[in-house]
Amino acid sequence: MTQSVQLRYGDDLIPVDFPEHTTVVSYPESYQDPAGVDDPVAATRQALANPVGSPPLSELAGPGKTVAIAFPDKVKSGFGVKAHRRIAIPMILEVLERAGVRETDITLVCAMGLHRKNTRDELVEMLGEGLVARFYPERLLMHDAEDPDGIVRLGRTVRGDVVDMNRAVYEADIPIMVGHAVANPYGGYSGGYKMCATGLSTWQSIRCHHTPSTMHRSDFIPSNHQGLMRDQFDEIG
């Protein structure tokens, strides 16, 4: 059994069939999110100390190391005081400071892809006034996909996709990407390699996967971790 829901798409609505058990949230109805972790701060600290497939940041960092911390722009939501940017970035900075990394060797990069640059007020909304005051504007940068000096072309993948990367992130001794898993109607879940393949790249690279030849395939299911688009992200990453 399914239920049909009218979803906003551009200037119109399209009918979409969902499983009967799907929870449908409609404005202005109120809705209580499912319970998350009791303490996101403690959970993030635990994850930072016990990474998967890598030594902890406290061991990687050290005096003289340069660090670039990339984070998604405002399109990717998360504006509360317990949102991923607000929790993770200050915690990362604490670890770096204890390891002897100078703050002047740390750069924050807004991974905005081809979106417009975020304003200072929008950065405050995402990061809080404290972080913005510490790093903006010299070391809190907007990724600029149209600045050739700020891009490194690394070549092509085995299938021929262009691989471009933000220079500040690529050249850092320790590049860190603060992503998040959120359903994206255009390319599966945000996060993972999608952040560097789109958020820190150029139109020449993005056009390889944000294209009808990828997005109009039968295996393109937006909120999914499989399919050609995700394979392309993995290869670029």
**What structural domains and CATH numbers belong to the chain?**
2-27+44-50+58-236 (3.40.50.11440)
Exposed e or buried b for every residue in 96-132, given b needs 16+ CB within 10 A?
Answer: beebebeeebbbbbbbbbebeebeeeebbebbbeebb
Pairing of strands 162-166, 188-189: unpaired
Ramachandran angles phi, psi of 38, nearest 5° = -65, -35
CB 227 within 8 A of CB 203: no
Place of tokens 């039968």: 218
Q: Which residues contact 82 (CB under 8 A, 6 or more apart)?
A: 40, 41
**Token duo for residue 47:** 């994850």
Residue 54 burial (CB count, 10 A): 8
Q: Give 45-53 contacts, CB < 8 A, sequence gap 24+.
A: 45/91, 48/88, 48/91, 48/92, 48/95
**Token duo for residue 141:** 């940068």
Per residue of the chain (237 residues), give pLDDT as tens.
788 888 877 678 888 898 988 888 776 676 666 666 778 889 999 999 999 999 999 999 999 999 999 999 888 777 778 888 999 999 999 999 999 999 999 999 999 999 999 999 999 999 999 999 999 999 999 999 999 999 999 999 999 999 999 999 999 999 999 987 766 666 556 677 888 999 999 999 999 999 998 888 877 766 666 788 888 988 999
